[in-house]
Amino acid sequence: MWGNPYLRILRSQLEKYIAEEFGQDRLLKDKNKSELRKIKSEINKLKKQLKELEERKLRLEEQIK
């Protein structure tokens, strides 16, 4: 596993506390929200990259003609 070992321990302790204090459902809900944000961000990044590649493709096709 990557990352600072102290932060990994802190995260595991915090997750344990949240699960005990608020319930496992809350912990899973928060983790899922975080993962969803990362996925949406990655999708937007890839859409932007695709748009740039399509524009580049059009320019190259125009130069070939």
Q: Distance between CA atoms of 41 and 35, rounded to whole angstroms?
A: 10
**How is the chain split into domains, by residue range?**
5-64
Which amino acid appears at position 30 of this protein?
D
Q: Distance between CA atoms of 41 and 51, rounded to whole angstroms?
A: 15
pLDDT of 1 reads: 56
pLDDT of 55 reads: 98
Q: Whole-number mean pLDDT of the chain? A: 94
Q: Distance between CA atoms of 29 and 49, rounded to whole angstroms?
A: 30
Low-confidence ranges of the chain (pLDDT < 50): none
Instruction: Report residue 37 as tokens.
Output: 């944000």
